[in-house]
């Protein structure tokens, strides 16, 4: 029994595979040797700054662009020769792109009609989709009679109506204001859970990526520079680039005398010699990543390193306070601490702060 199960897992065909794809536009390498795979039912997010190649990858998957090198496989089969409409993909973009003259129901039914679903089955499916996106009463309206958020939910319903093998979403919440974005994020999570669809989601918003994804793929200048579950990528960014994009960690210069031993760096913080996780292969250009929440103004119960610091500023942020510190050991540091730790603290005073070395990391 056990053998059968492990074999099934080992041979499960990924829903989507990118195998070393590259795309050039003249001198620009928009996508540079990207490989990754998406498991069945997985929610994968492409996170990267504008121009990092996210949309181009999506277009290649959808069939609107071809790649210069590499292969795209959907459920195991190479799709190079398949036109977009034969790829069994649902798509949602930033600008809702609904048909303005059609009712909401007809928008959702569009793909079903093209696939020649019989009218009765089509109507049932449209109703099911309207309920899925919580718009059951609004099937008769036209897109113009809906808010931006509602239009985007119709776009999701339309994309899912034909039960695509894969749902691609390119900055679908980009045009919406913050409150609505948070609402729709929840909605997208719920829809993903209830349908089990496989999703590739594109965003430049790290909070969105962290909140939604099973895994995040970080893009930088056309390359894939990080790929992992949100919590792992956040706590253990492979590079200072990923740390900067995904977290607010302090990235300080390595203290003199830092030595690398494989995955461990040995370095001095103040008086103490500590061993810290490391992904760097050389000290040149490497940084010490110190998460803001790894710094405390009161001695924590576990192991910690204590350094002297001057309080340069205290900013009340509602649920926590931000404290700007100047240290001799590590230079300027920003700490996020519970409000009560800042009671009786004043700007300009010198105090001891405590750093948890287990949450720090040396990155290249
Ligand atoms: P992102 O979606 O991450 O913002 P894109 O995939 O749209 O990035 O673009 C990646 C790079 O490719 C950018 O430098 C962009 O200017 C370039 N690019 C994208 N599409 C074209 C095109 N049709 N012609 C020329 N350059 C393009
Ligand atoms: Mg884009």
Considering only CA atoms, which residue is closest to atom 15 of ligand 1? 51
The H or E element that residue 168 is part of is strand 166-170
Query: Does the beta carbon of 28 lie inside 6 Å of ligand 1?
Result: yes
Distance CA 335, CA 296 (A): 7
* pLDDT tens digits in sequence order for the chain, 364 residues long: 334 444 444 558 999 999 999 999 999 999 999 999 999 999 999 999 999 999 999 999 999 999 999 999 999 999 999 999 899 999 998 876 899 999 999 999 999 999 999 999 999 999 999 998 889 999 999 999 998 889 989 999 999 998 898 999 999 988 888 888 888 898 899 889 988 999 999 999 999 999 999 999 999 999 999 999 999 999 889 999 999 999 999 999 999 999 999 999 999 998 899 999 999 999 999 999 999 999 999 999 989 999 999 999 999 999 999 999 999 999 999 999 999 999 999 999 999 999 999 999 999 9
Q: Measured in angstroms, how far is the CA atom of residue 51 from the centroid of ligand 2?
A: 7
Q: Which CATH superfamily is domain 247-363 in?
A: Nucleic acid-binding proteins (2.40.50.140)
Q: Is 54 exposed, middle or buried (0-12, 13-18, 19+ CB in 10 A)?
A: buried
Where does CATH 2.40.50.140 sit in the chain? 247-363
**HSE (CB half, 13 Å, CA atoms) of 311?**
21
CATH class of 16-235: alpha beta
Where does CATH 3.40.50.300 sit in the chain? 16-235
Does the pTM exceed 0.85? yes
Q: Measured in angstroms, how far is the CA atom of residue 88 from the centroid of ligand 2?
A: 22
Distance CA 77, CA 282 (A): 41
Residue whose CB lies within 8 A of the most ligand 1 atoms, among 51, 62, 171, 217, for a mutation test: 51
Query: Does the beta carbon of 119 lie inside 6 Å of ligand 1?
Result: no
Residue with tokens 């579950």: 229
Query: Does the beta carbon of 94 lie inside 6 Å of ligand 1?
Result: no
The H or E element that residue 252 is part of is strand 250-253
3-state secondary structure 268-318: EECCEEEEEEECCCCCCCCEEEECHHHEECCCCCCCCEEEEEEEEEEEECC
Residue whose CB lies within 8 A of the most ligand 1 atoms, among 50, 53, 65, for a mutation test: 53
What is the reported pLDDT for 11?
59
Distance CA 227, CA 230 (A): 9
Q: Measured in angstroms, how far is the CA atom of residue 223 from the centroid of ligand 2?
A: 14
Q: Measured in angstroms, how far is the CA atom of residue 143 from the centroid of ligand 1?
A: 29
Please state the atom number of ligand 1 nearest to the C-alpha of residue 50: 4
Q: How far is CA 212 from CA 202, 227, 234, 307, in A?
A: 11, 15, 14, 37
Query: Does the beta carbon of 326 lie inside 6 Å of ligand 1?
Result: no
Query: Does the beta carbon of 55 lie inside 6 Å of ligand 1?
Result: yes
């Amino acid at each position: 029994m056990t053998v059968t199960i492990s074999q099934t897992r080992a041979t499960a065909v990924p829903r989507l595979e990118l195998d070393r794809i590259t795309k050039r536009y003249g001198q620009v390498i928009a996508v540079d040797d990207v490989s990754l795979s998406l498991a069945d039912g997985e929610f994968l997010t492409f996170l990267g700054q504008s121009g990092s190649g996210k949309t181009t990858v999506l277009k290649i998957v959808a069939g609107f662009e071809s790649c210069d090198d590499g292969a795209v496989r959907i459920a195991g089969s190479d799709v190079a020769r398949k036109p977009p409409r034969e790829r069994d993909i649902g798509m949602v973009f930033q600008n809702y792109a609904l048909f303005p003259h059609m009712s909401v129901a007809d928008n959702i039914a569009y793909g079903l009609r093209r696939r020649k679903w019989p009218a009765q089955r089509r109507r049932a499916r449209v109703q099911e989709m309207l309920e899925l996106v919580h718009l059951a009463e609004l099937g008769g309206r036209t897109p113009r009679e809906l808010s931006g958020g509602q239009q985007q939910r119709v776009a999701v319903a339309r994309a899912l109506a034909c039960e695509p093998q894969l749902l691609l979403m390119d900055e679908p919440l980009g045009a919406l204001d913050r409150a609505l974005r948070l609402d729709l994020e929840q909605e997208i999570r719920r829809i993903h859970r209830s349908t089990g669809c496989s999703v590739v989601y594109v965003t430049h918003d790290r909070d969105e990526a962290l909140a939604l994804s099973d895994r995040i793929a970080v893009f930088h200048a056309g390359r894939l520079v990080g790929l992992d579950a949100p919590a792992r990528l956040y706590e253990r960014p492979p590079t200072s680039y990923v740390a900067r994009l995904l977290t607010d960690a302090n990235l300080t210069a390595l203290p003199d005398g830092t030595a690398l031993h494989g995955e461990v760096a040995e370095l001095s913080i103040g008086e103490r010699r500590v061993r810290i996780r490391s992904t760097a292969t050389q000290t040149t250009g490497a940084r010490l990543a110190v998460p803001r929440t790894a710094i405390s103004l009161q001695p924590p119960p576990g192991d910690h390193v204590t350094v002297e610091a001057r309080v340069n500023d205290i900013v009340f942020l509602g649920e926590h306070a931000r404290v700007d510190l100047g240290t001799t050991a590590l230079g300027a540091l920003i700490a996020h601490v519970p409000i009560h730790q800042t009671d009786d603290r004043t700007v300009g005073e010198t105090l001891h702060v405590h750093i948890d070395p287990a949450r720090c990391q040396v990155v290249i």
